[in-house]
Structure 1
Amino acid sequence: MTAKHGRLSYAILIGLLLAAAASARAQSDPPVLVTADTLKYDQSLGIVTAEGKVELVQGARTLLADNVSYSEKDDKVTASGNVTLMEANGTVLFADYMELFAGMKNGFIRDAAMLLSDNSRGAAVSAERRDGNRTILRKAVYTTCSLCEQDRSRAPLWQLKGERVEHNEAAQEIIYRDAIFEMFGIPILYTPYFSHPDPTVNRRSGILPPSYINNDFFGHRVRLPYYYAIDEQSDLTLTPQYSTKQGGHLTGEYRRRMATGEMEFDGSITDEEDTGDVRGHFRTNMAFRANDDITMGANILRASDDTYLNRYSIENRPVSNTLTSRVYAEAINNRHFASVNAFSFQNLRSDVRNGSVPFVAPIMDYSAVFEPGDYGGRWAFDANMASLQRNTGTDTRRLSSTVSWAQPYYAPSGEVFTATAMLRADGYWANSVNESLASTTKSDGSEVTGRVIPAVALDWRYPLVRDSQYMRQLVEPIVMAVVSPYGGNPSTIPNEDSLSFEFDETNLFSLNRFPGYDRWDGGPKLNYGFRTAIYGNTGGYAELLAGQSLRAKSDDTFTAGSGLSDSLSDYVARLTVSPGRYISIVDRVRLAQNSQLTVQRHEIGTTLGTNTNYFSVSYAKLADTDFVEDTGEREAISGTLRAQLTKFWAAEVRHTRDLGDNGGSLLNFGGLRYTDECFDIILFAERTFTVNRDIQPTTTIGVRFRIATFN
């Protein structure tokens, strides 16, 4: 008999014996399959002995050992020598000696070690297996850290020691009695009782990692979040904090996910010790699907006062000058889109009267793009209706519709022509159009007005491509002629949504360079430029887009600082360079069309390095466009340097600086981070220089840490 057939015969024999022995206690227990180098059976004692590379498999449970014996009388499996027990859930037990009963569900283990499914590990002087799902360890230790390869006797970065540790697989919990938390082998904390979920748990209620900072506003501040898993669909996180200067502060976040959507609520509240003022915020984000086509939701954000969010660092970045709340419904069906929105704004600027901030409801949009015709032409239709109401200032109601047609043509020479025709009609009903925002009264006069704007355009492009052995080159001249009438912006039409205007390469070849509906870029014009690029075979590339616009005559449509006030516009360009995966440069510029080519706008961003080691810098110089009163000339630079110092240590520094006449540092940040498979800690220092009412320059020193398994 060959060794293979011998093993198989023995395995069948032992399996039958073990199955017969087990049938008396549980007919449903699966049989045990045994393989080994040698198998012996003492019929008088009822003992089966397996020696050499023994493997016992029962269902999803596997036992490996050098020697295994089975007693029919006691229903006991005894294993010794390099014993390994692998469970169905991924847990692996190691021991020098092991006794198992009841189909390997219960037993005793000496000099035990345990590896859980997430690679966390434990060890104990002895362990007892009960009920097939409980393992009780005596004088045990647990950690998620790997042992030092050079000296495996060295204590891990952190570990938990307990006189008695129980892993309850049914409850998915690990419980410690008389536990000591150690770091680098040094006792840090003692507790008579401690528990945490085992690796099979995705979420469970408990305390999250605390954080600490010290700065001029808070003094010493400690945060201790608590996570509460309400059910399978929802959870709640409460974060109480205490600071020596501002007292107590509470933040809460509720989340719920359903089959048709999800919702999130968060808020905070504090009673400041300095002023006695109650301050706080509330935010909600909701989205629900009524069916495959319709989505409804809300995004609401409100704060108790203008500076609260920035002062208490509620947001991860500085808050803008306005908080926007929105309730909406959207429908998308093939090439059709429709939406209904309502907007409310909370002003955070001290120089704007709250009564002049509008409430927008409703604002409705509809867009349809139809199937192309036989020659590729395509019709489109857009409509918009909006109503803006103010306590003081202008009230506006607007109805707008646009019909357009676009026809491409690809010439045999490679030239690409696109003809476009558009007809737009706008109707307005507004009152107090010329009333100052500083006014405290609202006039009763109202006026109905409108406009009809036709426009036709022809876009010509001639992409010229040349292939070589190492690269592909592209040169593409672009010319676009647009014809539309003058006079599309009468004084009776208020400007509500076209204030934020910037002339750059993104709208150089647009029919209307204004965003929104209220302003129209009228009159005949010729837009021209070129795009050139080089694409390397190894992935590197460089692209340049540059151009200018020529208007038939100048008018008061654009302000002096816009770059479009004269017949010849400023020059706009964008250069993108990426020679390889470790470097990228994006440079955007607007140059005045005078002989000095004065820089009106310049933005450049560069990143050098990998995801772990990199240097990035961005620079921006923005001229005053005169469209918004509080927007003057601005110039700033910011940079970030990150270095992976060792396998586990990394450092990062950031700096932002205002380069204006009254400029200076805006932000200094330095951080040191240690991260491995079981521990993550960040030490940082930050200095902000913002001055805004009760927000003053602040220095913050803090620490945040995370211990694997306990989060």
Structure 2
Amino acid sequence: MRRVKVLSTILMSCFAGGVFAEQEQGLTCHFGYENLFMPVSTADPEQSEVDVKANHVQLLQTGTSVFSGDVDITRAGQQLSSDRATYNRTSGDVTASGDVRLRDSEIIIDSEQAEWSLNNDEGLMLNAEYRIRQMHARGEAAHVFRKGKATTNLKDATYTTCPEGSNVWQLKANKVHLNHETAVGEASNVVVRMGGWPIFYTPYINFPLNDERKSGLLAPTIGTSSETGFDLATPYYWNIAPDMDATITPRYMSDRGLMLSGQFRYLSEYSEGEIEASFLGSDDLRKDGDEPNPYYNEDRKLFTWQNLSQFDNGWRAEVDYGYVSDDDYFSDFGSGLSLSSRTHLNRLAETGYRGDVWDFTARVQGYQTLRDVNEQYKRLPQFLLRGHLPDQALGLSYELDAEFVEFDHKDKVEGQRIDFEPAVSLPMGTAAFFATPRVALNHTRYDLKNDRTDSFDDSATRTLPIASFDTGVFFDREIDIWGDNYIQTIEPRAFYLYIPHREQSDIPDFDTALSTFNMIRLFSYDRFIGRDRVGDANQLSLAVTSRIIDEQTGKETLSFTLGQIQYFSDREVFLPGASVQEDRESDMIAEAVAYINDEWSVNGEVQWDPDVNESNLSSVGLRYRAENGTIFNISHRYRRENAATNVQEGLEHLDVSAHLPINQQWSVFGRYYRSINTGRTLEGLFGVEYDSCCWATRLAIRNYVNEGSIYSNVDTQEQDRNLSIYLQIELKGLGSFGKKSDSLLEQSIRGYQAD
């Protein structure tokens, strides 16, 4: 089935009575009048003297002074300039005419006539033009009433953040109230115009005068899809306090009904977290395509909570809890690619301590399993203790790694596992070499129950010595490359590991897997991740790394590493479904990274099977990133089917992405991500964006395959594809409309960072 989702925004009259929430500015712009504002003054206007300068002064018997010619009246960071002015010392009233300008640290107002009360610190100006320092805003008004530095009221006014001579967008209102202390503007009977065309009306609106957060309606999203029908969401942002906020989103779906969602975020001295919940009462959709909707007339719900607390005494606490009412919640309502293919929701609560020597963790962990996948074991509870004492007597270092865990499962064997591994090592070396002999003793004990198949030893134990020797040498020399001085290093390394064989088929597999073969695996103490298997080993890992370093800057220009494991005996410990490994050598691994210059870099990796003389895995990538925002990436990834990479299906992917500025305002971007072996385009993305000092827009068109089916060899016509159109318009200083695509570009284009 082909899904089509249109995510865009229409400016609608349903905004009546609402407000627009603040949006971030994308550019730092200069309009030429920044230096015209007065410096910030903390002086009290009522206690400050009035300084008057003029070319001519005339004193009248009524106590009124008449000033003419370049008149400047200044007091406490405020200044009134004009061609002519009168000042009454008794009432404190000032009347000015002819090229009148009133300015302070926040606003500049130009008009032909002004009246000002120095005693009340307020005044009126007619047929005025104004400029606001914050947000680079400007406009015109028939009447401007200014009350000190706190508020400004305007009548028959316009408002825009566009540079002078450009009114790409403009707000026009009967009344405007600007509160400079709270940095919030309010307007009534508002018409918003773009390019001179009216696009929006509301009887009331408010907007920010700076780039700080504020409460208000966020721009709605409107669209349609085969999953929801007509879809309209109108989020409200609530700036509760500097350390907490919330977003409440009513979402109407014509095929399913009304959903209410909420998100609450908090931040304290020691904790940060987020709570999210959604509720759809009685799903109204009868059929999902040609199939009946299994959730018809049922409630659809979601709840998640993530919390991280870190305390000064080394203790920490974490909560990660997720719940959805059904398996298809994310595919029906989630807009993200990764959300639609989730199979497990984490349910974790843990606390722990980290000090100079000891690291302790206590946790309980379970999962909500979605779709037809195997349920994972719950850890109820798990205790981990790690210790490290370096540089003790005779140069010895001591380590301890211990665990107690209770595994719970409704269908499989359950039980307790205790694992205890002390180790001692003797690190030796200088700047030119290192050598570290190490010995450890691993002891594991099980107490099993509910073994319905009678396949395991209910009280199995395993004790194994582990011995290793890790050594390496560092050589370097100075070389000259095209007249520049560099340092070349050669760093050979050898790692010997011995672990005797112990039969472990009578031990269940609770949480263990074979690790991916890579450069890190060459120097690890076990080929398994998890404690249910300890792999037998009699092997020697050999690797050599060479680097070329710029002698002047210290930057690494080129690095290359080649490594392989030599096996002296068969590996007889394996997981269920695997078999004894008899190879005498592992795949060869080569990695290389080259920094051609500050913009260009290339990296590559290959895993080569010498027995069949073929590559099991390879990847190569070329990357360009410039200071002007230009980004270009191209990469190729290959994995051979049924290879030593521990997978049943191969892949070959080509990924090309770019962000290309055309000029200072216009950019284009795109991604082409294709599976060569299946002949499918996994993601096609193209878009264009415009960013100026007063407005910005971005249009993105994306056609993609659900993440869960990327590796599935399904016929192209039967894929579960999605087509999305993202349209975002930002009127800087007023609001942003449409579906934000910043996170989409950060995910699809490596190196892209949204402003």
Instruction: Name the TM-score class by shorter chain.
Output: 0.7 to 0.9
What residue number does 1:704 align with? 728
Match of 1:524 among 535, 538, 561: 538
**Is 2:598 the partner of 1:584?**
no
Residue 22 of structure 1 corresponds to none
| Alignment-derived partner of residue 543 in structure 1 | 559
Deviation (angstroms), 1:687: 1.9
- 1:340-355 matched pairs, under 5 angstroms: 340-350=362-372, 352-354=373-375
Query: Residue 668 of structure 2: which of 651, 658, 670 is its match?
Result: 651
Paired position in structure 1 for 2:61: 44
Aligned to 2:234: 224
Deviation at 1:591, TM superposition (A): 0.6
CA contact (8 A) 2:659 2:670 kept: yes
Letter paired with 1:622: R
Give 1:458 deviation, angstroms.
Answer: 3.1
Query: Aligned letter for 2:327?
Result: D
* Aligned residue runs from structure 1 range 392-471, under 5 A: 392-411=411-430, 414-431=432-449, 446-468=458-480, 470-471=484-485
CA contact (8 A) 1:643 1:652 kept: yes
In the alignment, is the contact (CA less than 8 A) between 1:685 and 1:700 conserved in 2? Answer: yes
Distance (whole Å) between structure 2 residues aligned to residue 485 and residue 42 of structure 1: 106
Deviation at 1:197, TM superposition (A): 3.8
Q: Confirm or deny: 8 A CA contact 2:705 2:719 kept in the other structure.
A: no
CA distance 1:300–1:367, change in 2 (3 Å): same
Which residue is equivalent to 2:109?
A: 93
Kindly provide the amino acid, as one letter, of the partner of residue 674 in structure 1: Y
Output one character per residue of 1:156-189: Cα deviation in whole Å (capped at 9) or x when no partner: 2211101222223456432223221100111122
Match of 1:111 in 2: 127
> In the alignment, residue 720 of structure 2 is paired with which amino acid?
Q
User: In the alignment, which residue of structure 2 is the partner of 1:251?
Assistant: 261
Question: 2-side partners of 1:66 and 1:522: how far apart?
Answer: 95
TM-score by length of 2: 0.80
Deviation at 1:624, TM superposition (A): 5.2
Distance 2:135 2:168 in 1: 17
Cα displacement (A) at 1:222 = 2.9
Give distance in 2, aligned partners of 1:703 and 1:564: 55
Report the CA distance shift for 1:266/1:573 in structure 2 as closer, same or farther (over 3 A). Answer: same
Aligned counterpart, 1:597: 613
Paired with 1:78 and 1:407, the residues of 2 have a C-alpha distance of 89
**CA contact under 8 A between 2:315 and 2:351: conserved in structure 1?**
yes
Partner of residue 327, structure 1: 349
The 8 Å contact of residues 503 and 563 in structure 1, kept in 2 or not, is answered as: no
Q: Which moved more, 1:176-185 or 1:472-481?
A: 472-481
Q: Which residue of 2 aligns with 1:263?
A: 273
Deviation at 1:665, TM superposition (A): 2.0
CA distance in 2 between counterparts of 1:83 and 1:547 reads 79
Q: Deviations over 1:633-688 (max 9, x none)?
A: 2332322122223332322222222233x442222222222333333333222223
Structure 1 residues 625-634 or 71-80, which shifts more?
Answer: 625-634
Equivalent positions of 1:144-223 (< 5 A) are 144-147=161-164, 152=165, 154=166, 156-169=167-180, 172-191=183-202, 193-200=203-210, 202-223=212-233
Q: How far is the alpha carbon of 1:371 from its aligned partner?
A: 4.4
Kept after mapping to 1: 8 A contact 2:464/2:499: no
The Cα shift of 1:53 comes to 5.6
The answer on whether the counterparts of 1:500 and 1:628 sit within 8 Å (CA) in structure 2 is: no
Residue type of the partner of 1:321? Answer: T
1:51 Cα deviation after fit: 5.5
Distance change >3 Å, CA 645–CA 535, structure 1 → 2: same
Residue matched to 1:683: 699
How far, CA to CA, are the matches of 2:351 and 2:48 in structure 1? 60
How big is each residue's C-alpha offset from its partner over 1:223-276, in whole Å with a ceiling of 9 and x where there is no partner? Answer: 221112334443221222334444443332112223332331112233252332
C-alpha deviation, 1:377, in angstroms: 4.3
**SS where residue 230 of structure 1 aligns?**
strand
2:401 is matched with: 382
**Cα distance in 1 between the residues matched to 2:357 and 2:377:** 32
Runs of 4+ in 1 over 6 A off after TM superposition: 442-445, 559-564, 625-630, 691-695
CA shift for structure 1 position 543: 0.8
CA-CA distance at 1:75 after TM superposition = 0.9
Q: Does 1:494 align with 2:508?
A: yes
Ranked by relative contact order (alpha carbons within 8 Å, sequence separation 6 or more), the top structure is: 2
**Cα-to-partner distance string for 1:464-500 (whole Å, 9 max, x where unaligned):** 2325462423332423242423214611233333315
- Amino acid paired to 1:242: Y
Instruction: Quickly say closer, same or farther: Cα 1:67–1:669, change in 2 above 3 A.
Output: same
Going from structure 1 to structure 2, the CA distance change for 1:378 and 1:327 (only over 3 Å counts) comes to: same
Aligned to 1:361: 380
Equivalent pair of 1:409/1:417 in contact (CA under 8 Å): yes
Amino acid at match of 2:397: R
- 5+ long unaligned stretches in structure 1: 1-25, 436-441
Distance 1:214 1:58 in 2: 59
Change (3 A) 1:197 1:703: closer
Deviation at 1:575, TM superposition (A): 0.9
Q: Give the 3-state SS of the residue equivalent to 2:522 in structure 1.
A: coil
C-alpha distance after superposition, 1:21-76 (max 9, x if no partner): xxxxx998221352636474626343345566655443343445555542213311
Q: Following superposition of structure 1 onto structure 2, how do residues 269-288 of structure 1 map, counting pairs within 5 Å?
A: 269-270=279-280, 271-274=283-286, 275=293, 276=296, 277-288=298-309
1:216 and 1:698 in contact (8 A); partners too? no
Q: Partners of 1:133 and 1:695 in 2: how far apart?
A: 60
The code of the aligned residue for 2:361 comes to S
The 8 Å contact of residues 167 and 173 in structure 1, kept in 2 or not, is answered as yes
Does structure 2 retain, via aligned residues, the 8 Å contact 1:637–1:659? yes
8 Å contact from structure 2 (residues 457, 506) kept in 1 = no
Matching residue's letter, 2:318: G
Question: Does the CA contact (< 8 Å) of 2:359 and 2:387 recur in 1?
Answer: yes
Secondary structure of the residue aligned to 1:553 is coil
> How many angstroms apart in 1 are the aligned matches of 2:593 and 2:44?
73
Q: Indicate how the Cα distance of structure 1 residues 50 and 327 shifts in structure 2: closer, same or farther if over 3 A, else same.
A: farther
Decide whether the 8 Å contact of 2:185 with 2:208 is kept in 1: yes
Q: Is the 8 A contact 2:433 2:471 kept in 1?
A: no
TM-score by length of 1: 0.84
Rounded Cα–Cα distance in structure 1 between residues aligned with 2:691 and 2:65? 51
State the alpha-carbon separation in 1 of the partners of residues 405 and 664 from structure 2.
57
Q: Which residue of 1 aligns with 2:326?
A: 305
Q: Is the 8 A contact 1:34 1:54 kept in 2?
A: no
Aligned equivalents of 2:581 and 2:589: distance in 1?
A: 11
- Counterparts of 1:421 and 1:55, CA distance in 2: 86
Alignment of 1:117-128 (within 5 A): 117-128=134-145
Cα distance in 2 for partners of 1:555, 1:563 equals 6
Other-structure match for 1:534 = 548
Amino acid at match of 1:478: P
- Contact 1:432 1:444 (C-alpha < 8 Å) held by counterparts: no
Deviations for 1:56-97, whole angstroms, at most 9, x for unmatched residues?
Answer: 443343445555542213311234455443445x33333343
Identical pairs, percent: 19
Structure 1 432/36 Cα, relative in aligned 2: closer, same or farther at 3 Å?
same
Which residue type is aligned with residue 423 of structure 1?
A: L
Query: SS of 2:330's equivalent?
Result: helix
CA contact (8 A) 1:607 1:617 kept: yes
From the superposition, tell whether residues 528 and 516 of structure 1 become closer, same or farther in structure 2 (CA, over 3 Å): same
Rounded to whole Å, the distance in 1 between the matches of 2:323 and 2:719 is 19
Query: What is the DSSP-based 3-state SS (H/G/I as helix, E as strand, rest coil) of the residue aligned with 1:507?
Result: helix
The alignment's C-alpha RMSD in Å is 3.4
Paired with 2:216 and 2:441, the residues of 1 have a C-alpha distance of 62
Letter in 1 for 2:419: S
- Partner of 1:140 in structure 2? 157
